[in-house]
Structures are given as structure tokens and as C-alpha cells.
A and B are shown apart, each in its own frame.
Chain A
Amino acid sequence: ETGVTQSPTHLIKTRGQQVTLRCSSQSGHNTVSWYQQALGQGPQFIFQYYREEENGRGNFPPRFSGLQFPNYSSELNVNALELDDSALYLCASSLTANTEAFFGQGTRLTVV
């Protein structure tokens, strides 16, 4: 079952702007991962947080940053938006870093 919620569901931003996406993990889950999914592609790993610390990062530039809060909710921040940042951003939570990950419904970001 999934109790991961993401907000907002849709967002339109202008190139060069900054955006913050939010994720509430399933109750009790202390690990949150963020993925970017371009149209027609599989999700690509951005980074993971475990107990408020970054626990791994994929091949994304530093303008992609994140936070995890004491209640294990999380934010993804993207600065200096580019057109290619348009995608579905997915948050996944798991009980620990070693159990199955459950995904939220995603945030559809469009950069114009």
C-alpha cells in the first residue's frame, strides 16, 4: 500500500525560476528518494535522504537540492529552471534504506 503524498500535483514555471516540491512519506518511513521521469522514459534517481542526511546522489547538477525534516517529510528544490527540467517528479519512501520503496503520485512540472 502507498501513503506517500506529493504536492502540488501540477506546476508551471518559467525558465530561470526556482521551484520547491514537497513529499510526505508513508507513516514510519525514514528514507525518501526523489526521481525524475521524462515522458516515455523510466524514472532517474536524483538523491536519497535517510534520517535527514543525504544518502546518495545520482547524476544531477547541484541546482537540484533537497531536505528531509525530522518528521521525515522532504523537499526537492530546483534552481535556475531549464526547459529540460520539465518532467514528472516522483518521491518514494521506504521503512529503511533496505526495504521496498513506495511511490507517490508525482508532481508534473512544466517549464516554459
Chain B
Amino acid sequence: EDQVTQSPEALRLQEGESSSLNCSYTVSGLRGLFWYRQDPGKGPEFLFTLYSAGEEKEKERLKATLTKKESFLHITAPKPEDSATYLCAVEIVGSARQLTFGSGTQLTVLP
């Protein structure tokens, strides 16, 4: 069964304290891995797509990496406005953008 697991469930950081979020996956065939950010009561906001092991993408304080079994979202020197739930999702080969999501990591950055 295709499965996506995110850890930790919740993470509290001090402003400027860098850390990483983990997304491990077990799927029959990975077409792509997606990272989204979700603020309370709102829809997910697209961050990154990764397609192959070794690929990396960056946006401001965020960097996403991908291996054959997991992805990491690295947050460098976070600010309070980075507080949100970060969702990881996979697209299985042949599923045409039907995403399977993890449960998310709730990040709180304290000033």
C-alpha cells in the first residue's frame, strides 16, 4: 500500500534556529514529490516539486531534497511568518496528479 509519513508531527523553533522536516514514502512508483504549506483554515500553497533522487530546490529560507526513500524540507534561520503546517504529497506513476498526502508537520517559530 502506498504510504507517506511525515515527522515530527509538531516542531517548535526559536527564530533563527534552523531545522529539517522529514517525509518518508513507500510507493509502487514515484512520479513526483510535492511540498505544500498550509495556514490555518486555508488551502495548501504550492512550494516545490521534486522528480528524481538527488534533486534539490530552494525558495527563500526553504530547501527541499529528495532521496529514493524520503524527502527533507530544510528551514534555514526561520522567522515567525514561517509558522504553518507543511504537507508532503506523492504522485504515483500513472495516477495523473492524484496526490497522496502525509499528515503534515505543524511548525511554530517563536520570536
A residues near B, CB below 8 A?
2, 4, 6, 31, 33, 35, 40-45, 48, 50, 55-56, 58, 88, 90, 92, 94, 97-106, 108
Contacts and interface: CB of A to CB of B under 8 A. Distances in A.
Nearest to B43: A103
B59 interface: no
B31 to A, nearest CB: 9
B95 A42 contact: no
A103 B96 contact: no
B42 A102 contact: no
B98 A56 contact: yes
A33 B97 CA distance: 9
A48 B97 contact: yes
B34 A45 contact: no
Given A48-B98, A50-B96, A55-B96, A100 B34 contact: yes
Contact of B103 (A2, A35, A42): A42
B54 interface: no
A102 B46 contact: yes
A48 B44 CA distance: 17
Given A42-B102, A42-B103, A100-B49, 16 more contacts: A2-B46, A41-B103, A42-B4, A43-B87, A48-B96, A48-B97, A48-B98, A50-B96, A92-B43, A97-B96, A100-B34, A100-B46, A101-B97, A103-B45, A105-B43, A108-B41
